[in-house]
Structure 1
């Protein structure tokens, strides 16, 4: 059995969601540059507590801390928007709002992965990766 997923971001989100639902505070996932950037953006926007990279062979592991002991997860919904079968691209003017601005979307732009607000401010469009509320 292979560890390869057809959609690594969906796999990351599912692992985080499932760990939060059963009350775990930490989840370990095989690393990639994109997974690391997505997790760091979620930490920066206070939806996750922390993310660390552990080196290993053949590849490293991301250790994602969802929340501290005794706390609930900071997110209610963590969903993939653009999928391998259907990519969703938007211009800077059409970046969607999540729950009337209370959530965020992550957008993959030519300048890297950033939140929808940052992309709109920089007037950059791109692929809508996920939404968090």
Structure 2
């Protein structure tokens, strides 16, 4: 699940790991492609076959030695779904952040 993926990335960056592994899912692959295109990770690779597939994610760090991802906020959780209209979506960090939205 993507929440687990993002939590693993956030925790790995906090302890300055170069790579992190996460279980494979199609949704996670889409999230990783977005993070890669936005420059928040250096890359990722699928490894293994069948039920043992995993992602090997290469983390990215800024020149000041901080992680490329500075904050992650989960609005919707499995225990609490959040629905929002398109008119209610506002810029993130004054236009310097981005939001990933999943539609039903």
TM alignment of 1:43-62, pairs within 5 A: 43-62=36-55
State the 1:19 CA deviation. Answer: 0.5
Mapped to 1, the partners of 2:100 and 2:50 lie a distance apart of: 30
- Going by fraction, where is helix more abundant, 1 or 2? 2
Q: Aligned pair 1:105/2:99, yes or no? A: yes
SS at match of 2:46: strand
TM-score w.r.t. the length of structure 1 is 0.68
Alpha carbon RMSD of aligned pairs, Å? 2.1
Q: Gaps spanning 5+ residues in structure 2: where?
A: none
The aligned runs of 1:73-92 (5 Å cut-off) are: 73-92=67-86
Deviation at 1:58, TM superposition (A): 2.2
Gap runs ≥5 in structure 1? 1-7, 111-133
Give the structure with the larger strand fraction. Answer: 1
